Structures are given as C-alpha cells and as structure tokens.
Amino acid sequence: MNTMKFEEKVFIAIVLVMLLSSMVLVFYTKNIIKVERGVLSPPTAKVLDVKLTQGKIIITILINDTIYPINVTGGYVQIYQTNQTAKIPPFSLSGSKKINVTIPFSYEDSTLSSLILRGLVQGIMNGSLVYITFSSTEPIHVVYSIDVKNVTYSRGISNLTLYTFFPVNYTVISVQFYSIANDNLSVFIARTNQITPVNLSFPAGENTFSLKLNYSEVFYNSLMNGNLYTFSGKVTVLLHYPGYNESKTFYVTHEFLYINGS
C-alpha cells in the first residue's frame, strides 16, 4: 500500500529536474552581461583624405573605438606601390580621433595617378591586444605650374614676372629662346636664341619673382601704344625630390595689350 508506483516516481523525478534547471537558469541569467544587437562593434580605421603640400604627402586617418577606450601603442601607413612607410605614434583613444601621418613626396610618387594605401593600428583595449587593419586607394593630383604674370620692354631689355608652383623644392635654371612679337603687325620686336642663366632656388609651393632679360636681336626699342603683344620662351626647372633631381622645361607665353604708361 505504501509503495509508490513506478510511474509516480518517474513523474516526481522529472519535476525535480525541471525545478533544478529553472533555478540554475535564473542564477546564470542574473550573472551574465547582456549585449544588445548593434551596441558592441569592432574598432575601425579608414583613410579620410590625402593631400600633397610642401613636398609632403599628408594622409588623414579616422580611428573609431568601441564601447571600450583603446590605448594605441603604434602602427603604420604604407604606400604599396613605392613601399614608403610612415609610423603612427602612440595615443589614447576614447570615441573617435583623426590623425595625420606624413610621407615625403618622391619622384616615384609623381608618376602615379592614385596611391594604394595599407595600414595597421595596434593597441590595448579592455586589457586585450587589438589590431585594426585598413586599406584604401586614393587619387593624387600632382600640379606643376609656371606662368608669366607680367612683361615690360624697353631698348632690348625685358622685366619678366613669373608665377611658379611645384610640389617639391626646385631651382629655376634658365630662360631660353624667348621673344616679343607685335601681333598687330606680325613682326618681332626683339628675340634671342641664347640661354640666360637664372639659378634661383625656391621652396615647394607658390612663388612669384622677377627676372631681367636681355635680347640678342633688337628690331624695335619700344612698344607701340594700343598694340597687342606676345611674349614666348622656355623655362628650365630642376625639381629636387628626395635623393633624385629631375629637369623639366616648360614653354610659356603671355599675351598683353600695351597701353602707354601701363
């Protein structure tokens, strides 16, 4: 009579197991960290901008952390085609931060229309070592410019004002084969087939300067009021890249209307 049936024993055992499982589940749920979708994301880095200025390539990088601050211990950015590398310095990151790294502009860079950039940022996040990699292809626009801004002429001598822009330090070597022609009469005022040394050096960027030029052949001593004139010639420039010099010759022209006294 007091003996429980086998079926009753099995039922009681199942109930006890389910009760124990529920207690364990409640305890575990109370002691775990709840992570909602979208809250925790890996840290990232990307290239925001690439500029060429004063003989240097300046690369701007945006680095974002997650919910944990990162103690960045270093890293690098590399131009893949030329293997040029710049180091990323250590810094503390909480949220996001823009950093600039600088790479000298080389002759090899000047032959490229775009730069393939690869990089790595390493640091410590919440006690663990993290690595953030990034890559990007960025266009690079290299400008070489030399323009005549003003020309004066009297008795076989011109004062020539030049505007120049180059991405690296440079030396204006010479001006050669220059002339002034009267466009109304289709005649030369003066000309020379010689090379006039200049040898003026300038830093990278914009520069404006004046030169005094003598003509070897003089046909007229002055300009005619109200006439249109054209100056033309060649200017040779030596570009100073790191470890390499490149010579370039530019053909320049300048058309101007001569007004007496101007």
Class of domain 145-257: mainly beta
- Give kind and range of the element (H or E) at residue 246: strand 244-257
Q: What is the pLDDT of residues 217-247, one digit of tens each?
A: 999 999 999 999 999 999 999 999 999 999 9
Domain 44-139: give its CATH code. Answer: 2.60.40
**Residue range 46-66: mean pLDDT, rounded:** 92
pLDDT for the residue 242: 94
pLDDT for the residue 126: 86
Report DSSP state, residue 3.
Answer: S
Please state, as a whole number, how many other Cβ atoms lie within 10 Å of the Cβ of residue 30: 7
Q: Is pLDDT larger for residue 201 or for residue 260?
A: 201
Domains 44-139 and 145-257 share a fold: yes
Confidence label for 148 from pLDDT (cuts 50, 70 and 90):
very high
Given a cut of 70, is residue 212 above it in pLDDT?
Answer: yes
Report DSSP state, residue 203.
Answer: -
Q: Which of 4-8, 21-25, 27-31, 164-168 has the lowest mean pLDDT?
A: 27-31
Of 113, 233, 231, the C-alpha closest to 181 is 231
**Residue range 105-126: mean pLDDT, rounded:** 94
Q: How many residues does the chain have?
A: 262
Given a cut of 90, is residue 250 above it in pLDDT?
Answer: yes
Q: Which of 31-40, 134-143, 164-173, 247-256 has the lowest mean pLDDT?
A: 31-40
- Give kind and range of the element (H or E) at residue 91: strand 91-93
Q: Is pLDDT larger for residue 68 or for residue 252?
A: 252
Q: What is the pLDDT of residues 31-45, one digit of tens each?
A: 433 434 445 578 899
**What torsion do the CA atoms of 85, 86, 90, 92 make, to the nearest 10 degrees?**
-110
DSSP string, 151-197: EEEETTEEEEEEEEEESS-EEEEEEEEEEEEETTTTEEEEE--SEEE
pLDDT for the residue 165: 95
pLDDT for the residue 183: 97
* Residue corresponding to tokens 């600039």: 100
Q: What is the pLDDT of residues 19-34, one digit of tens each?
A: 665 554 444 444 433 4
**Residue range 195-224: mean pLDDT, rounded:** 96
pLDDT for the residue 144: 93
Given a cut of 90, is residue 10 above it in pLDDT?
Answer: no
Confidence label for 1 from pLDDT (cuts 50, 70 and 90):
very low
What residues does each domain of the chain span? 44-139, 145-257
Sequence-separated (6 or more) residues with CB below 8 Å from residue 259: 225, 226
